[in-house]
Structure 1
Amino acid sequence: MKKEDIKPGDWYRILFGETPVEFMLEILLRTLIIYTVLLVIVRFMGKRMGGQLTISELAVMVTLGAIVSPGMQMPQTGLLVCTVILICALIFQKGLNRLEYNSSRFEKISQGTLTVLVRNGIIQVEEMARTKVSREQLYAALRGKSIYNLGEIDRVYLEACGIFSIYSRQKPAPGLLLFPSADSTIGAYAQQKADGVCVCAYCGKVSDRAESQEVCPECGKDEWKDASISYLAETEQQEQ
């Protein structure tokens, strides 16, 4: 389009561009056909496409969007071409799934492996840095599961598909509180101070209070806080 063709107030160009009004009706038909074909293709790709996407599935979904867009909007693009490309994407995805099923080595290369972010209530700082997961992201995931103390956690895995798998301890231990520092009104809900121990504010390593002047042996930081324990867990220990 040339510069002189752009005129303010040209509502036909603004609304319809260079296509005739009749093409609007054709867009409805094209969208209906492509949408139906896309539903069928995604259905054949399997149930995983409707859940948490893996790396390859995410790549396919982005590709599908790029495939269907021209066929629905551009009058010079035929629907048959889009349909053939969609079928090719289906074949590629099915072939990739077959390779991943038959070869665990190929599956690790294409999908990655899980990472242990928390072990025995202690944040694995090096793994967090390697996976580019921040502590606030981890804390948010734990708070979303109604977990407010690292002492309640045995393991946190970052799965290959990007979700957090959280496993709690049978008996919560003293640990680092996970309440947001900006929310001073929440108090210490169901938590109380653990006597005789402190906790590293960076990784959650619990240590004797006498050692609080030293650097943390897990992460090398020297910032310590009072360790807390679940009020319910403390009550159960006293009853025993």
Structure 2
Amino acid sequence: MKKEQLFLTDWKRIFFGDTPPLFMLEVLMRTFFIYLVLVIAMRIFGKRLTGQISLIEMAIMLTMGAILAPAMQLADRGLLSGVIALLCALAVERGINYWGLKNNQAERVIQGKESVLVEDGILQLEKLRSNRISRVQVMSVLRSKNIYNVSKIHRLYVEACGLFSVYTRETNEPGLSTLMENDPDIHSIQQIVPDRLACKSCGNTAPATPKPGDCTVCKTNQWVTAYR
């Protein structure tokens, strides 16, 4: 459409576009049909597509949106082309999953693998960076599981599907608090350990006196109060 054909008061074009108003009824019919097809497709794809999904399943979901939107909204696009494209996406997803089932190496390449983010009370900073996960996110995950001290973590994994798996350990060692720094009152549920400091970066602990220099684990010099 040329710019001289555009008018801010052209309400028909703004609300209905270049199609006749009767096409709105067709859009309703198309949407209802595509909805039924999508429900059937979701059943065929399986329960995984409605839960925590893998990278391949995420790509399929995004592809489904691109496939179905034109079939619902564009007058010059038929419904059959959208259905055929959706069946092709289904075939690709099933084929990739079958390949991964038969080949362990292919499965790791396709689905990815888990990474350990915390190991025996120490944040694995390189793994955090490679997975683009911040310390703030890690602390949030631990708080949501009622874990208020990093020292109590034996392992924290981020799974290939994005879920976090937490394994705790029985310990009374002081460590880095997971509670919010800007809310000092909340720390009343913890016990301060005056003779220990915790590295704010990785959670490593060191004696408070003499004042520690760089952290022996992550080589930073950011020490905070240790809690038990």
In the superposition, the TM-score normalised over structure 2's length comes to 0.95
Supply the distance in 2 between the matched residues of 1:67 and 1:114 (Cα, whole angstroms). 31
Stretch deviating more after TM superposition (61-70 or 204-213): 204-213
* C-alpha distance 95-128 of structure 1, shift in aligned 2 (>3 A): same
Aligned to 1:28: 28
- Give the secondary structure class of the aligned counterpart of 1:227: strand
Contact 1:122 1:203 in 2 (8 A): yes
Rate the CA distance shift 1:220–1:181 in 2: closer, same or farther, 3 A.
Answer: same
- Is 1:47 aligned to 2:47, yes or no? yes
Q: Relative to 1, partners in 2 of residues 1:24 and 1:76: Cα closer, same or farther, differing over 3 Å?
A: same
Contact map agreement 1:153 1:172 (CA 8 A) in 2: no
Percent pairwise identity: 40
RMSD: 1.5
- Is 1:133 paired with 2:133? yes
In structure 2, give the amino acid aligned to 1:223. Q
- How far did 1:173 drift? 2.7
The answer to whether residue 4 in structure 2 is matched with residue 4 in structure 1 is: yes
The answer to whether the 8 A contact 2:194-2:208 is kept is no
* TM-score (ref. length: structure 1): 0.90
- 2:63 equivalent in structure 1: 63
Letter in 2 for 1:51: G
Question: Any idea what the Cα deviations from partners look like across 1:203-238, whole Å, max 9, x if unmatched?
Answer: 111223346423211101122222111xxxxxxxxx
Gaps of 5+ in 1: 230-240
Distance in 2, Cα, partners of 1:224 & 1:9? 63
Q: How does 1:36-115 map to 2 (within 5 A)?
A: 36-115=36-115
| 2-structure distance, mates of 1:197, 1:183 | 21
1:146-157 to structure 2, matched below 5 A, reads: 146-157=146-157
Deviations 1:76-124 (A, max 9, x none): 1000010011111111100111111111100111121111100011101
Kept in 2, the 8 Å contact 1:197–1:226? The answer is yes
